[in-house]
Amino acid sequence: MANDQDQPELPRVEPEIIPPDRQERGPGRGADWRRAARRPYGPNETAGMHRVYVGRIGPFGFAMLTLAFAILAAAILLVFAGAILLWLPVVALLIVVGAIVRFLR
């Protein structure tokens, strides 16, 4: 049992700080990482750091996002309604065939 549980636990190992000019060979070490960062990996895609800017959404953006969700929900509803309307004649035909078979017995 620890003497004082309110004290934070100290790290067991000191972190290794590698200076940027250190010429150690290996993946991601030394001056090789600078050359690898400039090599393109695909169309419009490069390795390295990229900055991403995220802005707050305003009232117009919120209205457009709500409109997009409403259009998506309406499209899904129409797909389900179409599927139900497609199966309606099939079910009706099965009921009529079943009634005729029952009547002929």
In angstroms, the CA 26 to CA 28 distance is 6
pLDDT in tens, 19-45: 776 555 555 555 555 555 555 556 666
pLDDT in tens, 67-95: 999 999 999 999 999 998 989 999 999 99
In angstroms, the CA 74 to CA 95 distance is 31
In angstroms, the CA 34 to CA 50 distance is 14
